[in-house]
Amino acid sequence: MASKKNLKKDISFLTRDLIETLCFKSATLKLDEKAVSELIVKVLAFRSEFVSRAGHADGKDNAKMVKAYYRKLYEDMFAEFKALAEAVNTLN
């Protein structure tokens, strides 16, 4: 892991990209506004949860615990992002 700052920026970039994709699809395909807004709320909840988790590592004195914490964070983050991206792609 490079730094918490870069991790938080990556999370923000991923969420911004999802929201931009949603807005573009909504404008071009005339999607249901309620479904789009619910998905945007989920994306923003994803962002706040993972930015918060990135800032509060467990076991700051033990390097192995910190590495395991961030490894789990990355796994959870990419799994959740993948699920959100699939929801965006299947939205018609």
Give the pLDDT score at 29.
87
* pTM for this predicted structure: 0.84
- CA 65, CA 14: separation in Å to the nearest integer? 26
pLDDT at 59 over 80: no
Taking only the tens place, the pLDDT of each residue in 6-19 is 999 999 999 999 99
